[in-house]
A = this chain, B = another copy of it.
Amino acid sequence: MELLKNFSQIVIETPVDKIINQIKQLITSGQLKPGDKLPSERKLCDVLGVGRTHLRDAIKKLEFYGILKTLPQSGTVVAGMGITALEGLISDVLKLEGNDFNSLVETRVILEVNSAVLAAERRTGNDIKEIEKALFAHRAKIEQADHAVEEDLMFHLKIAEASKNSVLKSLMLIITPDILSYFKQHDVCGDGRSNKAVEQHERILEAIKNQDREAVGSEMRGHLVDILDYSKTIQVEQLYNNKIESNNGGMTGT
């Protein structure tokens, strides 16, 4: 079995990825500065020796990351920001490397606790109603069935909305799918933890109602701490599995 160690992850580099790397290199090396206009698509794909479709896909992806900006019938320019931080960006962003569930959960705790505290400060009456609705849905699902991971996360998402911080909510939405996929893969919520979770949710909601910053913080932290512990125990097993199956995590893109 030790033979397995002699294999290393095979990286499949699609044409699109190769193009992205070239453009990225041009930017980081300073040959393309913010505001510069890229050569026309036709010339570029001629030089690169690829079809225009691939090039356009690459541009679209970079545009999505905010690196490029393409102006119809005019050209594609390098967006004037974030260049220094570009190094290693594209291949890193959201490419949660699969075995890094620990970071994922740790980050989740940070986002959750803070959004809960903010929610306690800023929640409106309507927010309370929304959060309650999610709580009821969660409880109902658990009483009749076993798994309710999505309803669970929905509760947390409603809290994020009540925090009135759109960025915080967006970031939670970004990491949520990855957490979901992990939970479903490993059946985290199998045992009797579900009922305990609902009780904790109730206490969290209560603290938000009372606008008790301290309480909501500690309750949320306590609620998430089991999961954080759990994540540490599966770390090793996780590492092993990822070497075998070509599991490419959550939202890793193409």
By a beta-carbon cutoff of 8 Å, the part of chain A in contact with chain B is 57, 60-61, 63-66, 79-85, 89, 92-97, 100, 103-104, 106-107, 110-111, 114, 118, 150-151, 153-154, 157, 164-171, 173-178, 180-181, 184, 250-251, 253-254
Query: How far is B17's CA from A156's CA once the two chains are assembled, in angstroms?
Result: 27
A184 touches B110 (CB 8 A): no
Given A63-B253, A64-B64, A64-B251, answer yes or no on A103-B176 (Cβ-Cβ < 8 Å): no
Given A93-B174, A177-B66, answer yes or no on A167-B83 (Cβ-Cβ < 8 Å): no
Q: How far is the CB of A105 from chain B (nearest CB, A)?
A: 9
Q: Which B residues touch A169, using CB under 8 A? A: 92
Q: Which B residues touch A111, using CB under 8 A? A: 110
Query: How far is B107's CA from A48's CA once the two chains are assembled, in angstroms?
Result: 40
Q: Which B residues touch A110, using CB under 8 A? A: 110-111, 114, 168
B173 touches A93 (CB 8 A): yes
- Majority secondary structure of chain A interface residues (helix, strand, loop or mixed): helix
Q: Which B residues touch A66, using CB under 8 A? A: 177-178, 250-251
B100 touches A167 (CB 8 A): yes
Besides the contacts A80-B184, A92-B170, what 5 more A-B pairs have beta carbons closer than 8 Å? Answer: A81-B180, A82-B181, A96-B166, A103-B164, A107-B168
Q: Which B residues touch A107, using CB under 8 A? A: 165, 167-168, 171
With CB as the reference atom, state the residue of chain B lying closest to A250: B66
